[in-house]
Amino acid sequence: MRRKIVCKFGGSSVENATQIEKVKNIIQDSKNRKYVVVSAPGRDDKHKQKITDHFVNIATNGSHLHKIVSVKESKSAILTKFKGLLEDLHVKVDGLLESLQKDLETNLEGDKRGAFLASRGEHYNAKIIAAYFEKCGIASKLCLPEEIGFQVSGDLLGAKVDPITHENLQHLKETQEVCVMPGFYGVNEDGDIAVLSRGGSDLTGGELAYAVGASMYENWSDVDGVYEVDPRIVPSSDVIPRLTFKEIRLLSSKGFNVFHFDAMNNCRRANIPINILNTNRPSADGTLILNERVPEEDVVGIAKLDNMAYIYIEKEGLGETIGFTEALLSIFNQYGINTYHYPTDKDDIAVLLKKEDLAGNINNLRSAIEEKLAPDSLEVVYDVAILSMVGIGMKYNSTVIADAVWALKENHIDIEMLDHGPAKISFHIGVAQQHADKALELLYEKLVNKR
């Protein structure tokens, strides 16, 4: 049986006719590429805003773009973008612009309106790309979520994929055409459009790959793969050739924004490799994500979370108090604050979070913690960056931590926080935000580049 490859193309890969032609060439390059998941087109030419942001701007009556771009301007930008794609690709999709115009004037309200409009960029881009493939001699089939049973549940603006979706998509296994599917949205049991979290086209691709038993999931964007560190800070950093699912999840959770965090789950379970590739350089090898690899290095990558803060709580015996941590985290949840890390000891705990999430919340948050948990002391530390070193090779080489600490000490950079992950394949160092980039460069040279 021929190997089946699912390909997802991000917004920059499908933002104009030139990019869509590159996508067409990539699909024609391999007969195994039978499933194509597409995002909404990238930024418009006039306002430099993403097309999805224009749709959301309409749904929020202009507040999404802070009134800088009016609803009328957003509608114009959307219509101009899709009209331009049709003209530049020389394709005709009967009634597409009329249908789009009608959707822009939808009478839906509330979350139904927001989800419906947010999904339209992917919806119409998939229609255009399927038509373009046909024009170029690629036998194609448009697979809209509302027609093929891509079912979701929960919040209309942050839905989760329903497991029944995998059963519903079984019929796509035998398709002879190239299936073109819009990412980012699905439908619930009531037939309402619901969207996944932003970046959810990655998740659509991962779920489709799992459902059809793909041999590979290719995720195409505008970067060559996953870099060892942020190349904007360390231009000499290289693309990591291979990562395990565990490593990329750790890096993603600590600041590597290359892939939707949840998109890997079912691919990992089904042992489907993910290859992160560059639409603009399809000959580059990219980064291959696998269940297992042979480690050739200790630290494979370093992630950085900027503009963080942590709340330090001290109370005698808290580490031995059943339910203390759960009660503490429930308070953060009450205020809608995501927590990233919470190293703990016998008598103290620190909770790491984004500094911006404390704005307008810190006084009430402090009062709630003091009232419910009566800590001996509570301190808030602002302007911290967290550097996270990841690599399965570290499991049997703890000297890496000593090397990192020494590199920072030699350069007079104080450590605000140090924590070793329980799996022994990651550790995290907090430094003052003003030293973050310098610390990243030093740790890269000492632990990854090893010059």
- Residue 141 pLDDT greater than 50, yes or no: yes
SS3 assignment, position 415: coil
Q: How many residues are present in the chain?
A: 451
- Residue 1 pLDDT greater than 50, yes or no: no
Domains identified in the chain and CATH numbers = 5-222 (3.40.1160.10), 301-449 (3.30.2130.10)
Crossing angle (nearest 10°) for helices 96-104 and 71-89: 170
Percent of the chain whose pLDDT exceeds 90: 80
pLDDT digits (tens, 9 = 90+) for 167-176: 999 999 988 9
Task: Work out the number of other CB atoms within 10 angstroms of the CB of residue 308.
Answer: 26
Question: What is the reported pLDDT for 199?
Answer: 73
**How far are the Cα atoms of 247, 263, 380, 391 from residue 423, in angstroms, in the given order?**
11, 22, 28, 11
Residue with the two structure tokens 């391999």? 30
Average pLDDT over residues 241-249: 91
Question: How far, in Å, CA of 375 to CA of 318, rounded?
Answer: 9
The per-residue DSSP string of 266-326 comes to: HHHHTT--EEEEETT-TTS--EEEES------S--EEEEEEEEEEEEEE-TTGGGSTTHHH
Question: How far, in Å, CA of 259 to CA of 261, rounded?
Answer: 6
Average pLDDT over residues 223-249: 92
Crossing angle (nearest 10°) for helices 110-135 and 17-28: 60
Question: What is the reported pLDDT for 341?
Answer: 79
- Residue 259 pLDDT greater than 80, yes or no: no
Torsion of CA 73, 77, 79, 83, to 10 degrees: 150
Average pLDDT over residues 344-355: 89
Structure tokens at 99: 């249908």
**Residue 31 CB contacts under 8 Å (≥ 6 apart), including other chains:** 2
Question: What is the reported pLDDT for 139?
Answer: 96
Task: Work out the number of other CB atoms within 10 angstroms of the CB of residue 144.
Answer: 17
Percent of the chain whose pLDDT exceeds 70: 99
pLDDT digits (tens, 9 = 90+) for 323-337: 899 999 999 999 989
Band (2; pLDDT cuts 50, 70, 90): low
Number of helical H runs and strand E runs in the chain: 14, 17
Strand pairing class (242-244; 287-290): parallel
- Residue 260 pLDDT greater than 80, yes or no: no
Contact (Cβ atoms closer than 8 angstroms) between residue 149 and residue 140: no
Of residues 296 and 217, more confidently modeled: 217
**How far are the Cα atoms of 11, 17, 66, 72, 104 from residue 54, in angstroms, in the given order?**
14, 20, 11, 10, 11
pLDDT digits (tens, 9 = 90+) for 277-290: 999 999 999 999 99
- Residue 19 pLDDT greater than 90, yes or no: yes
pLDDT digits (tens, 9 = 90+) for 81-118: 999 999 999 999 999 999 999 999 999 999 999 999 99
Band (264; pLDDT cuts 50, 70, 90): confident
Provide the strand spans (E) within 222-266. 242-244
- Residue 23 pLDDT greater than 70, yes or no: yes
Strand pairing class (426-432; 417-420): antiparallel
Cα 419 to its chain centre, rounded Å, is 25
- Residue 266 pLDDT greater than 80, yes or no: yes
Average pLDDT over residues 248-254: 83
